[in-house]
Amino acid sequence: MPESPGDVRPVKKGLALRGLRELLLPRPRDTESVDAAGKGSLAVFGPPPETMADKRGRDFASFLRKVELFEELGDADLKRLAQIAHERSYRDGESIYEQGRPGIALFVLRSGIVEITRRKRNGHELPLATLEPPASFEELAAMGCDVVRWTSARARGPVTVVALGRPDLDALSRTAPLLANKLLRKLAEVTARRLQLLVEAQLSEGEERDPTDGPEKPPQRG
Amino acid sequence: MAPRSRPSAVEVVFESFAAVAGAVLGIWLLWGIRSLILPVAVGALLAYICYPLVTGLERYRVTRGLAITLLFLVFLSAATLVVSLVRSGVSTEIRTLNFKTRLLHKVNERYQDLMGLDSSPRGTPLYRFVHEDVDPIVDRVNRFLALTPEERARFLEAHTRPDRPADSDVLLAYDRANFEALQRRGLASSSGGGVRDVPSSSVTRPPAHREKTPLAALARILSTWIVAPTVFLFLLRDTGEIKRAFLRLVPNRLFEPTLEVLADLDRALGGYLRGVFLECVLLGLALAVLFVAVGIPILWAVALGFLAGATNVIPYVGSAVALLVGLTYTFLAGEIHPLLPMVKAESVAIWLVVGVLLVELLKNVALEPLVLGGAAKLHPLVVVIGVLGGGILFGLPGLLLAVPTITILKAFVSSASLQLKAYGLV
């Protein structure tokens, strides 16, 4: 398990996700230049200091305002969203969700650090990312799909998350369809951006590995 | 994370004892407030049925408070209308006395006819078979409906004065017949009236409700049923606080399964309740139309249709009540004027039976599939046993709440087992 934010590859500027503390794929080849890589990763992936959520935020709605998913929502919409949100606290090492299980909620990290991992066929846990506030994760579970989690999430230290359940969001689509529409669009945008980030990371690794090769080889799957 | 140490035997015993004590205390408290269970359940179920209306109004930018106020005003207006209609039907004391006189005469006349007591004092074989059980009931009905000496004096005064109503002669004849019937039964008082306060030898004990005044009974009912509108209002006002508070108590590993189970329960119960409510309304309307068609006055038809529709919350009871109240009305009413040309006054009862059967068929073939669909489909045997069992165990609350309870339990068990398996918890 990488301890420092050095396991990252720089990607295109402007392509960032709020709260993505470190992207742990692809695997690092040079672990001696952690500090330099860490600085580089923070410059690319780390959220601007002013967008980091207040870990002790008292007002739910004001916390939700800082989340990328909800940045386009007005005060009334945020208040309505706060009515269907559930705050959950997890101990160090406690599982938030597990790979292979169904999922019905999306999570927004309010305080603490969450580690995203994927279990390989041989049983080894492959770390994928660590998240810090105000990151959101498992958005697909809220988009009306029958989701089976493809990763696991575990608390690193005490963690507080805000969970939004799919049934409550479905009910919201009936009572406040405009709000539900805004959320869905934002969810789709975040999901697409996350996919692009991962693909760019994979391509960057491919280029770095053998920059002298003429034709570009397709990125190898991890 | 350090593994949690296994609990000691003392801890296990203590926790088990605390759980049992908590359960016993909970059951004792529930038993103590059992008179509130039905009003709370009715208020909660009504709130559940009306919740989509409130959220629907919110969608059109009506605030929740205003939406609830509007809904409450609609209910209040409907209740006021019903009360005023009932009161207008029996608005004066003389109308009440007329009604009781007519009703008592019809009951005695039909009983005499049915048991053959007009032609022979020994009556028919049926009478000889059942009279020991039925006579006390008829005595009780006579005692209840008979006018007291003071009431009879007012009745006679109203129907013997110069400006008496047109049907006074008929009513006076009924009154004489009633008095003779009371004398035959040994229930008439020497002053010439009913015998409500004189116990008959065939009665084992006086009715318990006569020990309390109407005001005390009303106060008792209000003190418990005031809970129903209170629960109704506060549940409608809730914007998710109750659900959030409940989920706070759930451990993290059960959080998502609990969300799924709650969603399944909401779908099952909500669909069933709203479907049943709509079915009751439509059934009541259909029966009201039927009653009007066979000649029952429109006010009575609406009232009886409403009653039959309301009792349809208990499965299979709605049509039975419709048949009973319809036949009772035709049995006791003075004159029937059917609207349909093929329905004759003499055959109203038969047409009523046919009509109720047709409405029941319409309900089963069209209303239920359309309105209820697949919502909480229960096997008819489960429904019958559940309703009867609920009635035996808990009386009227058991009859009313049996089917919703079975629906909730069925949805909970099937959803919980599915989710626990899916999340790897069992």
Six-digit token pair at B41?
């359940």
pLDDT tens per residue, range A122-158: 888 888 889 998 888 888 887 766 778 889 999 999 9
Taking 90 as the threshold, does the pLDDT of residue B29 lie above it?
Answer: no
Taking 70 as the threshold, does the pLDDT of residue B52 lie above it?
Answer: yes
Six-digit token pair at B36?
């509130």
pLDDT value of residue B259? 92
**CB within 8 Å of chain A, chain B residues 5-24:** none
Average pLDDT, integer, range B417-425: 88
CA-nearest residue to B243 within chain A is A84
pLDDT value of residue A32? 40
pLDDT value of residue B193? 52
Query: Which residue among B55, B259, B266 places its CB closest to the CB of A105?
Result: B259
Round to whole Å and give the CA distance between A106 and B388: 45
Higher pLDDT, A114 or B211: A114
Taking 70 as the threshold, does the pLDDT of residue A6 lie above it?
Answer: no
Q: Binning pLDDT at 50, 70 and 90, where does residue B3 land?
A: very low
Whether residues A167 and B423 touch (CB distance < 8 A) is answered with no
- Rounded to whole angstroms, what are the CA distances from B12 to A86, B3, B15, B105? 32, 18, 5, 72
Q: Whose structure tokens read 């008292």?
A: A58
Q: What angle do CA B300, B306, B312 make, to 5 degrees?
A: 140
Mean residue pLDDT of chain B comes to: 80
User: Is the peptide bond between B149 and the residue preceding it cis, with omega within 30 degrees of 0?
Assistant: no
pLDDT value of residue A163? 94
Six-digit token pair at A193?
């951006």
Inter-axis angle of helices B214-225 and B227-237, nearest 10: 20
Q: Whose structure tokens read 């999922």?
A: A103
pLDDT value of residue B390? 86
Residues of A whose CB is below 8 A from B423: 101-102
Given the DSSP bridges, would you call strands A102-103 and A125-131 parallel, antiparallel or unpaired? unpaired
pLDDT value of residue A195? 83
Taking 50 as the threshold, does the pLDDT of residue B369 lie above it?
Answer: yes
User: What residues contact B26, with CB distance under 8 A and at least 6 apart?
Assistant: none
- For chain B, report the end-to-end CA distance as a whole number of angstroms: 23
**CB within 8 Å of chain B, chain A residues 168-207:** 168, 171, 174-177
**CA nearest neighbour of B155 among B70, B97, B234:** B97
Round to whole Å and give the CA distance between B104 and B178: 7
The answer to whether B32 contacts chain A (CB < 8 Å) is: no
Taking 60 as the threshold, does the pLDDT of residue B196 lie above it?
Answer: no
Q: Binning pLDDT at 50, 70 and 90, where does residue B151 land?
A: confident
- Residue B323 contacts residue B353 (beta carbons within 8 Å): yes
Whether residues B266 and A167 touch (CB distance < 8 A) is answered with yes
Q: Binning pLDDT at 50, 70 and 90, where does residue A46 land?
A: very low
The answer to whether B135 contacts chain A (CB < 8 Å) is: no
Q: Whose structure tokens read 């090492």?
A: A93
**CA nearest neighbour of A187 among A106, A69, A83:** A69
**CA nearest neighbour of A114 among A99, A93, A98:** A93
Most confident of A193-207, B145-159, B318-332: B145-159
pLDDT value of residue B198? 42
Higher pLDDT, B388 or A58: B388
Taking 50 as the threshold, does the pLDDT of residue B199 lie above it?
Answer: no
Taking 50 as the threshold, does the pLDDT of residue B377 lie above it?
Answer: yes
Q: Whose structure tokens read 């209740």?
A: B79
pTM, 2 dp: 0.69
Residues of B whose CB is below 8 A from A83: 239-240
Query: Which residue among B59, B253, B260 places its CB closest to the CB of A175?
Result: B59
pLDDT tens per residue, range B211-229: 456 677 777 777 778 888 8
Round to whole Å and give the CA distance between A15 and A197: 7
Residues of A whose CB is below 8 A from B56: 175
Six-digit token pair at B87?
């009161």
Whether residues B259 and A165 touch (CB distance < 8 A) is answered with yes
What is the CB neighbour count within 10 angstroms for residue B173?
Answer: 12
What is the CB neighbour count within 10 angstroms for residue A179?
Answer: 20
Query: Which residue among B56, B255, B424 places its CB closest to the CB of A88?
Result: B255
Q: How far is A199 from chain B (nearest CA, A)?
A: 31
User: What residues contact B144, with CB distance under 8 A and at least 6 apart?
Assistant: B196
